[in-house]
Amino acid sequence: AQSVTQLGSHVSVSEGALVLLRCNYSSSVPPYLFWYVQYPNQGLQLLLKYTSAATLVKGINGFEAEFKKSETSFHLTKPSAHMSDAAEYFCAVRPFSGGYNKLIFGAGTRLAVHP
């Protein structure tokens, strides 16, 4: 079965520092991949998705993610953290086959940004 591992349940960075949130998936066939963000007491908002058109995917709010098939990874980065980036981030995969668009989520990483 497909699974998603997010390394680090909590990540803390200083404002202006690089943000790196890690995501690894388990699949012999690269699935479709997503990053979602959740602000306090809100639903999930799509940050970006891997479409197979390019391995480096740009999303909203200055975030990007790189798909690396050899490492089965899809890590999320942002060059310079902003206080407003404090939120919980979820990596998700959708199996390549099957019509239901069922998303499988990682456990989430809570990002804290300090002044």
Name the site residues for other proteins (rule: CB under 8 A): 6, 9, 32, 34, 36, 41-46, 49-52, 90, 94, 98-108
Rounded distance between C-alpha atoms, residue 14 and residue 113, angstroms: 5
The residue (of 51 and 80) whose beta carbon lies closer to other proteins is: 51
The residue (of 99 and 115) whose beta carbon lies closer to other proteins is: 99
Count CB neighbours of 88 within 10 A: 18
Nearest CA to 106 out of 44, 54, 40 is that of 44
Bridge pairing between strands 64-68 and 32-38: unpaired
- Residue 38 CB, shortest distance to other proteins, in Å, is 8
Residue type, 43: G
- Residue 83 CB, shortest distance to other proteins, in Å, is 23
The residue (of 17 and 72) whose beta carbon lies closer to other proteins is: 72
The residue (of 104 and 112) whose beta carbon lies closer to other proteins is: 104
- Residue 111 CB, shortest distance to other proteins, in Å, is 15
Rounded distance between C-alpha atoms, residue 18 and residue 106, angstroms: 22
